[in-house]
């Protein structure tokens, strides 16, 4: 029977078994180097080998070119910070930060972009991952018609409806607020 092990779990003495894939040896003992199922196998020799086989699929991590869904957390004059919650159609298990820089909001009139007219804290945004960025966050882009704000709440707390590529309207108060709106994809 295979046992579930975590990184750093001691599996066996290096005197009794050989270290296989997913393991390492330290101080005369074999340890798991990945999370997975511990297995003891005989690989054509008389000596048994202990290995750890990854359990389940690898966790989803945003990569350059991925389309992500993010929630805007902070807006400054030069960038909007966001927390990435989905990559493609897959919800993320870990927290990832992203930043949409002023030059990555749209493809035209980049020098005229006013970040607060494009995003507000709490907005849900569809964006493309440009690069891994720095140690703190991914660089994101909304410079495509299908990318931008997909859901926003008005000052009255009501979900707004897009009225153009740069405006959303509160159905309750009829107030119009500026956003970089994502084009609705036809089904």
Q: Rounded to whole angstroms, how far apart are CA atoms 27 and 97? A: 38
Enter the CATH code of domain 67-178. 2.40.50.140
Tell me the average pLDDT across 157-163. Answer: 92
For residues 163, 164, 167, 170, the Cα torsion angle rounded to the nearest 10 degrees is 10
Distance, CA of 127 to CA of 69 (rounded, Å)? 6
The values of phi and psi at residue 112, to 5°, are -100, 5
Share of the chain above pLDDT 90, in %: 50
Confidence of residue 122 (pLDDT cuts 50, 70, 90): very high
pLDDT of residue 152: 94
Taking the C-alpha atoms of residue 29 and residue 36, their distance in angstroms, rounded to an integer, is: 18
User: Using one digit for the tens of pLDDT, what is the confidence trace for 32-70?
Assistant: 888 788 888 876 666 788 888 876 656 677 888 999 999
> Three-class SS of residue 104?
helix
Q: Outline which parts of the chain fall under CATH 2.40.50.140.
A: 67-178
CA atoms of 101 and 143, how far apart (whole Å)? 11
Q: Give the residue among 64, 135, 125, 126 at the shortest CA–CA distance from 97.
A: 135
Q: Checking DSSP bridges between strand 10-13 and strand 3-5, what pairing results, if any?
A: unpaired
Phi, psi of 103 (to 5 degrees): -75, -10
Q: C-alpha angle 160/165/171, rounded to 5°?
A: 20
- Binning pLDDT at 50, 70 and 90, where does residue 187 land? very low
The mean predicted confidence, pLDDT, of the chain is 87
For range 22-30, the mean pLDDT: 90
Residue 110: what are its φ and ψ, rounded to 5°?
-60, -35
Please give the model's pTM, rounded to 2 decimal places. 0.67
Give me the architecture of the 3-54 domain, per CATH.
Answer: Beta Barrel (2.40)
Chain region(s) in the chain for CATH 2.40.50.100: 3-54
DSSP state of 159: B
pLDDT band for 1, please (50, 70, 90 cuts).
low
């Amino acid at each position: 029977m295979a046992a579930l092990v975590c990184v750093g779990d001691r599996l066996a003495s290096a005197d009794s078994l050989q270290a296989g894939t997913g393991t390492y040896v330290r101080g005369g003992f074999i340890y798991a180097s990945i999370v997975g199922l511990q297995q003891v196998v005989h690989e054509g020799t008389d000596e048994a080998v202990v290995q750890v086989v990854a359990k389940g699929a690898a966790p989803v991590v945003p990569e350059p070119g991925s389309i992500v869904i993010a929630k805007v957390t902070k807006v400054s004059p030069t960038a909007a910070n966001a927390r990435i919650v989905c990559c493609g159609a897959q919800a993320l298990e870990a927290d990832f930060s992203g930043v949409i820089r002023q030059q990555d909001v749209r493809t035209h009139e980049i020098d005229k972009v006013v970040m607060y007219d494009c995003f507000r804290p709490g907005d849900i945004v569809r964006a493309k991952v440009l690069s891994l960025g720095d140690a703190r966050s991914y660089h994101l882009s909304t410079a495509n018609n299908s990318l931008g704000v997909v859901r926003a709440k008005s000052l009255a707390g009501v979900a707004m409806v897009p009225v153009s590529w740069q405006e959303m309207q509160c159905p309750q108060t009829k107030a119009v607020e500026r956003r970089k709106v994502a084009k609705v994809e036809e089904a």
